Amino acid sequence: MLESLQYIYAPQMVNGLSIGVAVVLMALGLTIIFGLLDVINMSHGEFYAAGAFISVSLMAIGVSFWLCLILVPLILVPIGFGMERLLIQKVFHYKDRHILTLLLTFGVAMILEDGYKIIWGANPIKPSAPISGASELLGVMFPNYRLFLMGFGVLIIFSVWALIYKTQLGAIVRASAYDKDMSSSLGIPVMRVYALTFAFGVALAGLAGVLLAPIYSVFPTMGRDFILMAFSVVIVGGLGSIKGAVIAGILLTQLQSISSLFISPVWSDPLVFTVMVLVLMFKPTGLYGGMKNA
Amino acid sequence: MHNPQVKAIRLIEILLLVSAIVLFLVGSILGDTFFLRLATESLIFGGLAMSVDLLLGIVGLLSLGQALYFGFGAYLSALILKEVSPSFFLAIGIVTLSSIVLGWAASFVALRSKGVYFALITFGLAQVAAKVVYNTRSLGASDGMMGVPILQIWTPIGSVDAGQPGVFFVITLLTIGALYGVLKYFLTTPMGSIWHAIRSNEDRLAYIGYKSKGPKQVAFILAAVVAAVSGALYPMLRGFVSPELMFFSVSGNAVVTVVLGGVGTLIGPILGSVLLTSFKSIIGTWTVHHHIVIGLIFVAVVISAPKGIAGLLATYFRKTHSRKGEE
Amino acid sequence: MENMEIILKAKSLSRHFGGLAAVDDVSFEVTRLGVTSIIGPNGAGKSTLFNLLSGTFMADSGLVELECKNITRMSPEERLSCGMARSFQITNLFFDLSVINNLRIASQALEPSSHLFLPLSKSAIAIDRANELLEEFELLECCDQLAGALSHGQQRRLEIAVTLATRPKLLLLDEPTQGMSQADTQDTAELIKYLGSKITVLLIEHDVDLVMDLSKTVIVMAQGKKLAEGIPGEVRANPLVQTAYFGEELA
């Protein structure tokens, strides 16, 4: 019994954790965008893909993986900023704005996905992991890259949390989300804050893309495939809750990896989706939800 | 006093009907196959778009998974025609009845939520269903099912051969037209008004005496039926069905055509579908990347003309009406 | 002329939000016809009380009885069918629909549910009622305009008309003169007085003078509790009430 725990479950759980942190990064961006901006970003998955594709191209011209971890999010920031400023804010004043932003970001997703196909082709690209080899932990071999993923991911998640709750900048962002007019009258450039928040959220998704590329490989529909998982995490955790995104992200990815021991991987998405639906049915605001409440 | 939106709708109805008649006559005389089949396909997807519009434009619920019912109707229709009997009315009848049950069952999951959550649940339901179908051997898995026989359809004027493009075009036109008629009828009933009220201010509804759940369920089931019956026509036209019919791009395209044509008008989505299908086939001869162009058009429409073509027409009518009033 | 029969009874109603008791053990009775008003300084719990009475929130404890029927756990639409209707402080109309459609939909509950699926013309009762209300509330000239396009005064009138559509026995009016001009307030006061002669009106208001003028009974709330209940003169002279109001002014 202990042996199966050590040799079967533990590796699955660790693998699941390494993916879990990347999923959490993506869900973090999504939940921040919804929680603070009240925008449903259907193109979030495409920014995840963008991160992956851009890192692949950068590495192809010799940029190191480590540099990509910094460069790619930085590249995505102005893109996200531009999208929020030029597109999303245009429909913000309509009464139907929730649906309009949903449709708008959905349209952008369509454009981006096809764009990836045009630029990089439809075939999957698998970049090699920057860290090779494996280490032994408790008698089991784990790929070093996955161990790195976990550590790095935790670091980023913690930094995001600290940024939002422990810094002046974070306070400004939260104030703008909470009361736009009041913040504006205090001299805060609310529109710019919104755009920056959006940019930050999609940059996190891009970072997740860079991190997961060596594991999942890179192909044009990767964003769309992943977005249901991202939204499931955000919903189960509670729209707008960072804590919720972290806990739900870990839980759902663990569910996925452990269940893959028993059922065909084809059914893991439906399983996650079922959990999401159940949560929505019985606790619609998610585990830690409540609008704009992180 | 004429409502500009009503005028816009009327104009689009006439436009589509006239073009349909012209297409049928000219196409039949010239022995055309391509354009008639294209038009038939655009009408079939127009039916799906109508089901999206019923939920989005009338009740106020964005469903990102209507392809689920469309695909259901298509597969069920193919199965009946292949395994039971190549009868048009049998297929349509069974699809109608079973989609009522399916819609009713799905409503218990989907209608627990609204707004964004509803969109995500419907999205998820369709994704899951598509994955299940894609992996089900007995339904042909990723290849789908082929070999749907060509139908001989009984009509009051004798049996007609659905293999003839012109004939099936008319059959489809009548079927989609009938669905349109049913939906328009509902809009003339108090139930239709309640749907509009839900879209306008759902919270107030209870205070004037109605729970919103019942009317929403009616609309949801109706939308499922409309999507499924439209889907049932697909194998009759193409001779096969595949899991692609349930993929998100089908639901997504439907939403695009609704916004393009004019949300809430029911006929707008059909116009949108006609335009989009023609557009795809034209662009498709130059490049396979029509999604990007459609996406760009869609984003442009959402930003600058969120009420679509019908909305633009209505604005035009409002302006000319007020100009006339000043004379 | 005054009817002493009790139409609405509230017994020990309580409702908490977090740790705060928004409504704390409130009991009162409303007799038929006339205007009964609930007043109190800001934060007194009047709106929460209204929400408990109308079914917007459920009470944590206590009882609400309408004509001796226990409605404490009923939903708003169930309360409507028992004869209780409420209006809203912030105009809560179907803004995208026309005035006549607002009134017609509000009157639809007068028809049997089978009529929901029949053409509109078969709902003659609802249509007639809507037209009746159009005239009564002087909304004829804007009957085809969207409710969202009306002036504030017109919207407030429509709000009350919508609430009256099903001919309720008990009308809950939530700050009906909110944001109104002097002239409009006067007209509304006349309207409320007139309504009070036909049905029972329960009113929340901030305008104390208006309330004293119109009401047969005044209930004063402060900090979630009922402070006083009685005829206007009595309540006005009540030292506790004066402290509650003056105390607020001095602070």
The alpha-carbon gap from B175 to the nearest alpha carbon of chain A, in Å, equals 29
Of B112, B294, B306, the CB nearest to A100: B306
**Amino acid A294: pLDDT:** 31
Q: Phi first, then psi: what are they for C77, rounded to 5°?
A: -75, -30
Of B112, B256, B303, the CB nearest to A280: B112
Please report the residues numbered 75 through 114 in chain C whose beta carbons come closer than 8 angstroms to any beta carbon of chain B.
75-77, 80-81, 85-86, 88, 92-97, 101, 104-106, 108-109, 111
Average pLDDT over residues A73-97: 87
Residue C144 near chain B (CB below 8 Å): yes
Of C76, C101, C108, the CB nearest to B206: C76
Residue B292 near chain A (CB below 8 Å): yes
Helix (H) or strand (E) holding A239: none
**Amino acid B2: pLDDT:** 62
Please report the residues numbered 220 through 239 in chain B whose beta carbons come closer than 8 angstroms to any beta carbon of chain A.
none
Full strand arrangement of the beta sheet holding C84-86: C84-86, C170-174, C200-204, C35-39, C217-222, C225-230
The alpha-carbon gap from B219 to the nearest alpha carbon of chain A, in Å, equals 19
Measured between beta carbons, the chain A residues lying within 8 angstroms of B128 are: 269-270, 273
B128 by DSSP, 3-state: which?
A: helix
Average pLDDT over residues A11-15: 79
Query: From A278, which residue of chain B is nearest by alpha-carbon distance?
Result: B109
β-sheet bridge partners, residue C201: C35, C171
What's the pLDDT tens digit per position in A101-139?
A: 888 998 899 899 989 988 998 888 888 888 888 887 767
Instruction: Please provide the average confidence, as pLDDT, over all residues in chain B.
Output: 90
What's the pLDDT tens digit per position in B81-134?
A: 999 988 899 999 999 999 999 999 999 989 988 777 888 889 888 988 888 898
Measured between beta carbons, the chain B residues lying within 8 angstroms of A232 are: 124
Rounded Cα distance, B220 and B104, in Å: 8
What's the pLDDT tens digit per position in B279-303?
A: 888 877 777 677 888 888 899 998 8
CB contact under 8 A, C108 and B190: yes
- Determine contact, residues C134/C99, Cβ cutoff 8 Å: yes
Token look-up 């309640």 returns B194
* Extents of the domains making up chain A: 16-220
- The better pLDDT of the pair C204, A93 is held by C204
**Amino acid B1: pLDDT:** 44
- Determine contact, residues A132/A145, Cβ cutoff 8 Å: yes
Amino acid at the residue C218: V
Query: From B185, which residue of chain C is nearest by alpha-carbon distance?
Result: C119
**Amino acid B172: pLDDT:** 95
- What is the complex's ipTM, to 2 decimals? 0.89
**pLDDT band at residue A92 using 50, 70 and 90 as cut-offs:** confident
CB contact under 8 A, B201 and C94: yes
Spell out the SS3 assignment of chain C.
CCCCCEEEEEEEEEEEECCEEEEEEEEEEEECCCEEEEECCCCCCHHHHHHHHHCCCCCCEEEEEECCEECCCCCHHHHHHHCEEECCCCCCCCCCCEHHHHHHHHHHHHCCHHHHHCCHHHCHHHHHHHHHHHHHCCCHHHCCCEHHHCCHHHHHHHHHHHHHCCCCCEEEEECCCCCCCHHHHHHHHHHHHHHHHHCEEEEECCCHHHHHHHCCEEEEEECCEEEEEECHHHHHHCHHHHHHHHHHHHC
Instruction: Look up residue A129 and give its DSSP letter.
Output: P
What's the average pLDDT block by block, 10 residues per block, for chain C (251 residues)? 77 88 91 91 87 92 91 93 91 92 94 91 92 91 90 88 94 86 86 91 88 90 89 86 66 39
Measured between beta carbons, the chain C residues lying within 8 angstroms of B222 are: none
| Range of A180-194, A231-245, B57-71 with top mean pLDDT | B57-71
Mutate which of A99, A119, A272, A291 to test chain B, going by most B C-beta atoms within 10 A? A99
What's the pLDDT tens digit per position in B93-103?
A: 999 999 999 99
Average pLDDT over residues A209-217: 89
Measured between beta carbons, the chain A residues lying within 8 angstroms of B256 are: 107
CB contact under 8 A, B210 and C118: no
What's the pLDDT tens digit per position in B221-262?
A: 999 999 999 999 999 999 999 999 998 889 988 999 999 999
Rounded Cα distance, A101 and C60, in Å: 39
Task: Please state, in angstroms and as integers, the Cα–Cα distance from residue A268 to each residue in A263, C48, C53, following that order.
Answer: 8, 46, 47
- Across A138-147, B182-191, C170-179, least confident range: A138-147
Amino acid at the residue B158: G
Of A115, A269, A277, the CB nearest to B121: A277
**Amino acid C1: pLDDT:** 46
Spell out the SS3 assignment of A171-221.
HHHHHHHHCHHHHHHCCCCHHHHHHHHHHHHHHHHHHHHHHHHHHHCECCC
The answer to whether residue B215 scores a pLDDT higher than 90 is yes
Q: How many residues does chain A have?
A: 294
Measured between beta carbons, the chain A residues lying within 8 angstroms of B119 are: 40, 102
Rounded Cα distance, B249 and B114, in Å: 22
Average pLDDT over residues B261-278: 93
Measured between beta carbons, the chain B residues lying within 8 angstroms of A106 are: 252, 255
**Amino acid C247: pLDDT:** 60
B204 by DSSP, 3-state: which?
A: helix
Residues B171-203 as b or e (16 or more Cβ within 10 Å = b): bbbebbbebbeebeebbebbbbbbbbbbbbbbe
Amino acid at the residue B78: A
CB contact under 8 A, A277 and B295: no
Of A87, A106, A280, the CB nearest to B121: A280
Mutate which of B59, B195, B196, B200 to test chain C, going by most C C-beta atoms within 10 A? B200
Measured between beta carbons, the chain B residues lying within 8 angstroms of A280 are: 112-113, 117, 121
* Confidence (pTM): 0.89
**Amino acid A293: pLDDT:** 35
Average pLDDT over residues B41-64: 95
